[in-house]
Structure 1
Amino acid sequence: MENIFGQTLVSKKGPTATRGLNNVPIILIYASASWCPPCREFFPSLVQFYNSANQSRKRIEIVWLSRDRNEDDFNNTKKNMPWLAVPYNPNNIAALLERYDIEVIPKLFLLNRNGSVAHTECRQDVVIKGIEAINEWERIRS
């Protein structure tokens, strides 16, 4: 995943090596922003889903792509997220948004091991299927 995200991601605890993603079965990208009402509405459900999914062992990781307008907004949002984020760099984030053709947020999608998109309807899966979505994503990704 280093070829996609670079060598380092960030969390509310600080920097973390991207290579840690290699041991996580499910990798999701979440594009959102603090100024986006649908993003703010979905956020509590996604936090609950993430925490439930990883309760007994690490089953999923989410990598956040911020559409925030400045680094202060990014940092304020990041401190409430249990998952990882691409460091705030508008050029790098813009390149990832373009690579994955993200025009509308919030957007949550599943990556294959090679970094291509495996499934684009993960937000709906979280809302409708809940934790059972993970079993489907594992089948899609294998």
Structure 2
Amino acid sequence: MAGIKALIGDEVQDKSGKMCPVEEICAGKKAVGIYFSAHWCPPCRGFTPVLAEFYKENDGDCVIIFVSSDRDQASFDEYFGEMPWYALPFAKRDVKESVSQKYGVRGIPTLVVLRPDGTTIEENGRGSVANSNGKFPQNWC
């Protein structure tokens, strides 16, 4: 877990706004998805429901952490309200920028898939999810 913690910090927030230890939410998972997206982005609005269905089918194997490119807290809150996973708090803009730079995120939506130790599985897992038919991708194991 040190890899994910080093990347995004000790805690992320859940749907209620409660802060959750990264170690706990990543424990026993095969993959951690870092989902770069924003409310104002039409392709994101199209992919988020696909990712949500995938997540509901595979949440025993993976965890997803939303990293917002929204322009304000209200937009973040509204969009995150539609998601069934965790989020980097909107106020942590410095962490968002650091993670975006580390993975060369140039456009959204982008799904970076990591192992819980922080090693990279895929820098753009969007295609794997879109083509998975709901099944957990074998290359993520």
TM-score, normalization by structure 2: 0.87
- Tell me, in whole angstroms, the C-alpha distance in 2 between the residues paired with 1:70 and 1:136: 36
> Residue 29 of structure 1 contacts residue 64 of structure 1 at CA under 8 Å; is this kept in 2?
yes
Q: Provide Cα deviations, 1:70-119, integer angstroms capped at 9, x if missing partner.
A: 11111111121111111112222111111111111000121134323221
Q: Find the counterpart in structure 2 of residue 114 from structure 1.
A: 117
Q: Provide Cα deviations, 1:16-44, integer angstroms capped at 9, x if missing partner.
A: 11111132221111100000000001111
Q: Which amino acid aligns with 1:108?
A: L
Q: Find the counterpart in structure 1 of residue 72 from structure 2.
A: 70
Q: Which amino acid aligns with 2:34?
A: I
2:26 is equivalent to residue 15 of structure 1: no
Q: Which amino acid aligns with 1:31?
A: F
Please identify which structure carries the higher helix content.
1
**From 86, 89, 106, the counterpart of 1:87:** 89
Structure 2 residue runs of 5 or longer lacking an equivalent are none
> Residue 24 of structure 1 contacts residue 61 of structure 1 at CA under 8 Å; is this kept in 2?
yes
> Residue 12 of structure 1 contacts residue 80 of structure 1 at CA under 8 Å; is this kept in 2?
no
Identity of aligned residues (%): 27
- Partner-residue secondary structure (3-state), 1:129: coil
> Residue 29 of structure 1 contacts residue 110 of structure 1 at CA under 8 Å; is this kept in 2?
yes
Structure 1 residue runs of 5 or longer lacking an equivalent are none
Give the number of aligned pairs.
135
- Partner-residue secondary structure (3-state), 1:101: coil
Per the TM alignment, residue 3 of structure 1 is displaced from its structure 2 partner at its CA by 1.2
> Residue 31 of structure 2 contacts residue 63 of structure 2 at CA under 8 Å; is this kept in 1?
yes
Per the TM alignment, residue 128 of structure 1 is displaced from its structure 2 partner at its CA by 1.4
User: Over the residues paired in the alignment, what is the CA RMSD in angstroms?
Assistant: 1.5
Q: Find the counterpart in structure 2 of residue 29 from structure 1.
A: 34
